[in-house]
Amino acid sequence: MSPQPVLPASESFRLPNTTILVRLAQADVKLCVDTLLSAYRNAEFPERLRFSIQAQPGEDVTCVAVFRSGAARKLCAGFPVGVDFCVEALMRQVFVEQRRGAPATAEEFCLWVDSHAVFVSRWDTSALLEWGKVQ
């Protein structure tokens, strides 16, 4: 029998500020960056997203570095407060996994994906609403 999902401890799955932790395996840097862009562009509330990137041992170029240097700047183009401010805000949401397999709390939705995932429109809201249906 497979492990059961963590049940929501409250109605937080209905709130737009509930944290969604996306754990992403970096099998390929370009695909990883594309997956990050897809997640941000298609989230209804991208500010609630956090990304934990699991880089492959011995890789010189990481998804996080490439995302910061190019893709994040494109994502922030036209940001009213400035591109640099926006990039720094995004980078506070993206980090390299230090502790492998750290458990998610009952108030944090955790999604594991490979670096070739494509997200649909409003995927964040849909995922949380599905989590709320868990019994």
Q: Give tens-digit pLDDT for 5-27.
A: 677 777 888 887 888 888 888 77
Residue 99: what pLDDT? 47
The CA distance from 55 to 86, in Å, is 24
Number of Cβ within a 10 Å radius of residue 71: 20
Torsion of CA 91, 96, 102, 103, to 10 degrees: 40
Report the SS3 class of residue 122. Answer: coil
* Residue 113 φ then ψ, to 5°: -140, 160
Q: What is the pLDDT of residues 87-96, one digit of tens each?
A: 888 888 887 6
Tokens 């754990």 belong to 23
